[in-house]
């Protein structure tokens, strides 16, 4: 068992012998937890799903524009065995998450909002809904779960949990599914936690390759591997401000999704009136210069002239669209769970959101070219531009992320930006590989022992291990399941 496990883990993590020992110990600990949770029984499978760091392309995925993340060597691991009935029984190694037991019966009724078990239920519900497993014949599984992805930090711990749950449920039912199709299905599973997330996190967790970033296009899902230059490293720094997707961040995130939907309707109407073209877009990417056969500049001009650059009230949007406010609310402001997003007190910032999304999409394309040319400075500069756009037009930054970005640049990062949904969580920093140790040391002194200690009244997350808040990302391979021989 020991040798098999080490070999498998070396293939996945591609790391030094010392690091491998740490990974092996972690899996061994989970195997021991399995044996004590289910006495006398052996696990038959192991599943692992990685978190991710997004290098560039923020809030573009749900608009149909590309992203460029990489999977990281922090992940969610399930050790499990199928059961003879349809019960799913999961024990989390972290005592803060209570054991969860439910039946794989359609529909799977969610726990209360915020319950960690909903991420497991989300995967099971979607797979049953898709008809990939017949609910009448579904087999459950019993599992222990462990994870090393910092939570509520913008590194996709929850999506990794959804992906791992799906792979466990499929393996328990001996069902093989193409990873692209699974990624598309699981992107929709986010409805379970009430967020309108795009498809980036699930796609990279499933489709990543070791040592590479992934440019991902959506609708339909397509991926292109990007080789990462050896002289540039990506360092994650956690701001220590929690950004939980299922709680406070939900309204702010969903608001932006709706603002983009409103932008899509308004841009389509404006372009249609000016150009006479009959268009029926589903999302902003359907209105790109390339799709419409127009210069991007021309579209931007039509847009700014027709509905202006200031925030709009629902009433004004309705007037532009020639509909009633109620109709617009019903058609465009309804979330996947059926609830309606209330109008923000400062209005819908349609123009700013539009400008961010379109410019960010162009930055992703430029980053592909910069990576291909091995131009680290150009990559870093695009990351810096992305940061400014996320801060000013998309407004997903916060004072702590801003402090972190500026301290990083002062201490040697060529490029620095918040990663993931924002509103807290982490930054990703492009640092010359030969300066990484020095960068981590000076960031530790300046941010974690300096800024955080001074700003005592802010709600920073407590941490015990610095390696979990500032670390270099190693691009790992995507999620997978393999047989476990727990009976060694
Ligand atoms: C969250 C979502 C992703 C994506 C990012 C922002 O992580 O889950 O789909 O929208 O925010 O880029």
Is residue 4 pLDDT above 90, yes or no?
Answer: no
Instruction: Give residue 174's pLDDT.
Output: 97
Pairing of strands 232-238, 212-217: unpaired
Instruction: Give residue 3's pLDDT.
Output: 54
Active site (annotated) includes residue 392: no
Atom from ligand 1 closest to the CA of residue 190: 8
Q: Residues 203-215: pLDDT tens digits?
A: 999 999 999 999 9
Residue nearest to atom 1 of ligand 1 (CA): 421
Q: What is the mean pLDDT of residues 269-284?
A: 92
Q: Residues 186-203: pLDDT tens digits?
A: 998 877 777 788 999 999
Q: In what order do the strands lie in the sheet with 470-472?
A: 415-418, 426-432, 232-238, 470-472
Is residue 276 pLDDT above 90, yes or no?
Answer: no
pLDDT band per the 50, 70, 90 thresholds, residue 244: confident
Quick one: tokens of 453?
């200690």
Residue nearest to atom 9 of ligand 1 (CA): 198
Quote the percentage of the chain above a pLDDT of 70.
Answer: 99
Q: Residues 103-161: pLDDT tens digits?
A: 999 999 999 988 999 999 999 999 999 999 999 999 999 999 999 999 989 999 999 99
61 lines ligand 1 (CB under 6 A): yes
Instruction: Give residue 486's pLDDT.
Output: 57
Atom from ligand 1 closest to the CA of residue 67: 12
Candidates 61, 75, 201, 393; catalytic one: 201
Q: What is the mean pLDDT of residues 445-458?
A: 92
- Ligand 1 centre to CA of 135 (Å) is 30
- Ligand 1 centre to CA of 420 (Å) is 5
């Amino acid at each position: 068992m020991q040798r098999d496990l080490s070999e498998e883990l070396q293939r996945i993590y591609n790391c030094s012998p010392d690091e491998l020992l740490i990974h092996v110990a972690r899996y061994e600990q989970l195997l021991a937890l399995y044996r004590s949770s289910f006495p006398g029984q052996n696990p038959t499978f192991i599943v692992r799903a990685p978190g991710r760091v997004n290098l560039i392309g923020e809030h573009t995925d749900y608009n149909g524009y590309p992203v460029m993340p990489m999977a990281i060597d922090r992940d969610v691991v399930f050790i499990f065995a199928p059961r003879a009935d349809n019960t799913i029984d999961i024990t989390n190694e972290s005592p803060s998450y209570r054991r969860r037991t439910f039946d794989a019966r359609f529909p799977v009724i969610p726990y209360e909002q915020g319950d960690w078990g909903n991420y497991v239920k989300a995967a099971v519900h979607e797979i049953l809904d898709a008809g990939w497993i017949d609910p009448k014949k579904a087999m459950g599984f019993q599992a222990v779960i462990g994870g090393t992805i910092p939570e509520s930090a913008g590194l996709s711990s929850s999506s990794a949990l959804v992906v791992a749950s799906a792979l466990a449920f499929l393996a328990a039912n001996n069902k093989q599914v193409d990873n692209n199709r699974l990624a598309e299905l699981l992107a929709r599973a986010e409805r379970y936690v009430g967020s309108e997330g795009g498809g980036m996190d699930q796609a990279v967790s499933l489709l990543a390759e070791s040592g590479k970033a992934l440019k991902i296009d959506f609708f339909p899902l397509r991926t292109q591997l990007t080789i990462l230059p050896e002289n540039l490293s990506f360092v994650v720094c956690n701001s220590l401000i929690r950004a939980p997707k299922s709680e406070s961040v939900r309204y702010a995130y969903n608001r932006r999704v709706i603002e983009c939907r409103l932008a899509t309707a308004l841009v389509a109407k404006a372009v249609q009136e000016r150009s006479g073209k009959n268009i029926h877009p589903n999302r902003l990417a359907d209105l790109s210069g390339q799709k419409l056969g127009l210069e991007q500049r021309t579209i931007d001009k039509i847009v700014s002239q027709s509905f202006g650059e200031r925030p709009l009230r629902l009433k004004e949007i309705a007037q532009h669209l020639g509909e009633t406010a109620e109709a617009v609310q019903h058609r465009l402001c309804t979330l996947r769970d059926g609830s309606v997003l209330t109008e923000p007190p400062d209005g819908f910032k349609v123009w700013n959101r539009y400008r961010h999304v379109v410019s960010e999409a162009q930055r992703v394309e430029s980053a592909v070219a910069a990576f291909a040319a091995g131009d680290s400075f150009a990559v870093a500069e695009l990351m810096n531009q992305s940061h400014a756009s996320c801060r000013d037009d998309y407004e997903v930054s916060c004072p702590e992320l801003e402090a972190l970005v500026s301290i990083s640049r002062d201490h040697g990062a060529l490029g620095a930006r918040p990663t993931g949904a924002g509103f807290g969580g982490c930054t990703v920093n492009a640092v010359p590989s030969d300066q990484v140790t020095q960068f981590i040391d000076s960031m530790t002194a300046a941010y974690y022992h300096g800024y955080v200690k001074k700003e005592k009244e802010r709600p920073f997350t407590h941490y015990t291990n610095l390696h979990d808040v500032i670390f270099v990302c190693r691009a790992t391979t995507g999620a997978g399941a393999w047989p476990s021989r727990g009976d060694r």
